[in-house]
Structure 1
C-alpha cells in the first residue's frame, strides 16, 4: 500500500528557488573562507589560508621575507607569493 500526495507546481518552483539560493550562498561563503576568489588576502585571511596563527604568520612568514603590500592601514599578501614561499622552505 502506498500513499501519493500531490503538491502544487508553485511549491516545487519555490523549493527549487530556495535550494538554488542556499547553494549559491554556501558556495560564496566557502570561496570567501578559503580566499579562492581573490589573489590578494589580508593577513587574517592568509593565516586562515595556511592554517597558522597571526603570530606564526608574522614571525615565520613575513619576518622571513614573504612580500607584503600595504594599502591604507591594511596589509595584503598575494596567494601565489605564499605558495612560493612555502615551496622554497621545503625540507626534503
Structure 2
C-alpha cells in the first residue's frame, strides 16, 4: 500500500532564506577546502606545489629564483608549506 505525502507550501521570510543560503554556501566551501587539504600534504614537493597552485614549473622556477615564494631547499629538493603558499597567494 502506497502512502500519500501531503505537500506543504511554506513561505519563509527573506531573512531566513538568505541566512539558510549563506550557511549552505559556507558549509560547501568548507567541505571543498577540507577535500583540497586532504589531497595535498602540509609539506609538498615542487611538483605538488605547482599542482596545488595551478601554475607551470617555469613559473615556479621564476618565483624561486626571485625569492618571491616561500620554500625550503633541502639538498637537491624543494619543500613548500601549504599554509605558507596560501598566505603567499593571498598577497599576489
Say which is worse superposed, 64-73 or 40-49, in terms of deviation: 64-73
In structure 2, list runs of 5 or more residues that go unmatched.
1-34
Matches within 5 A, 1:28-47: 34-35=39-40, 38-47=41-50
1:22 alignment partner in structure 2: none
CA deviation after TM superposition for structure 1 residue 64, in Å: 4.9
Q: Is 1:69 aligned to 2:59, yes or no?
A: no
Q: Partners in 2 of 1:39 and 1:58 — Cα distance?
A: 20
Matches within 5 A, 1:11-22: none
User: 1:66·1:85 contact (CA, 8 Å) conserved in 2?
Assistant: yes
In structure 1, list runs of 5 or more residues that go unmatched.
1-29
CA deviation after TM superposition for structure 1 residue 34, in Å: 3.2
Aligned residues: 57
Regions of 4+ moved over 2 Å: 61-64
